Amino acid sequence: MAQELEPAAMAAAPGEAPVPAAEATAAGWSSLPSDLVRRIADCFLDTNDVDWYMDLRAVCHSWRSATDDPRKNPIDGRFHPREWIVLDGDVVSQSDDMRIFVNIGTGRFLRKKLPLLRRYYVVAITFGGFFVLADRSRPHAARVLNPFTGELVRFAAPVPRDAGVAVFFFSGGIPHNLTLLCDSSRKYYTAVPDSKRFDAQSLDEFIYNYMRKAVVGGVYANGGGWASVACSTMLDNLCELTEMLQVEFVKFFSGDPFRHTSDVRCFLVDFGGQAMFLTKAPGRVGVLGIEPENQKLVPMETIGKYAIFIGHHRCLVVDAGKFPSVEANCVYYTLQIGRFAGIVKHNISDGTDERVSDSLDFVEQNKEFVLDTARPFTIIQVLCSYTINLKGSELA
């Protein structure tokens, strides 16, 4: 029987030193057909795992040559964070440059170090995952960071100090459009990179609250203009809804806490590219969609494989099958009881509500609700913590 040879010896040509096994393996991977490399890379982009795409491009020159460079086309939406939320607060222990990301479409958790954050104030994090930053030195010019590609869009305009909510997109012929919302003044500011300052517009309290809920719910995350949802037809529908529910129109989209059992709040959330409206009152939850034919708001009997999370400040839709213990066709919401809050699960099919746990999950500290249970936290607690709190600007 012929003597078996080590893989390294088999890879060596006559008269040459044997090639180490690791190098031989790497050489084999680098010679994969370009179309196969592109198909693998496209799979990562399909699930918005842009960090994996960047890691793939970093393997070798041939893999970089076979795939598109995000830096050459920064407006290409394939490379933008879309389905990521960023956890903060008491849920995770993080340094100044460490963040925990969750892909709400795939259920993937990612712990990522972002050294660039040490050089800036974090103003806001958009729905999807862009970081809106401000220079630490005056006049605190705005920056927008793609945390996965490292692309940093520089703005000439300084960030308004009371900004706390943001949306960033590429729309029409206007690149890098950044919109900031400011709660204290009820203004929204817009700028492009070359703008010397942000253009400011004051808004009616109801319209401002409506826009804010739409931004944090992801309705405008892909560049939809205000008019695409806040049109006269939609406002007519909302007026009819408030009359039916017998609630005060101006407070319908308010972020203020419930003070009476008759209070009702409305949240907006992106659901497959469409706006979905959720009404929440003490002990009551409603889920409404837009009927395509007549653009009327109608109750939704099911949301299929998805689950909704509602907190004091944000609303979120996730694929329940990707998150252990999360049940499909349910709404999870936080119920405040004094300085504490518990998590309740509302079943859309039969309209029943039940407490997720016997104990209260959150306690209010310094105007935020922190988890008051032992680690490790459950997935449901983590997602509810994201919706019940909303970090303010470090610049403010």
Do residue 190 and residue 146 come from a single domain? yes
Contacts of 107 (CB under 8 A, 6+ apart): 318, 319, 322, 323
Choosing from 153, 184, 202, the residue where a domain stops is 202
Q: Is residue 151 part of a domain?
A: yes
Domain ranges, residue 52? 20-67
Tell me the whole-structure pTM to 2 decimals: 0.87
Task: Give the model's pLDDT for residue 74.
Answer: 80
Task: Give the model's pLDDT for residue 90.
Answer: 54
Do residue 30 and residue 136 come from a single domain? no
pLDDT at 5 over 70: no
Do residue 62 and residue 116 come from a single domain? no
Q: Is residue 191 part of a domain?
A: yes
pLDDT, tens digit, for every residue of 92-149? 555 678 899 999 999 999 999 999 999 999 999 999 999 999 999 999 999 999 999 9
Do residue 38 and residue 155 come from a single domain? no
Do residue 49 and residue 160 come from a single domain? no
Across the range 183-204, mean pLDDT stands at: 93
> Domain total for the chain?
2
Residue scoring higher pLDDT (233 or 120):
120
Do residue 175 and residue 89 come from a single domain? yes
pLDDT at 12 over 50: no
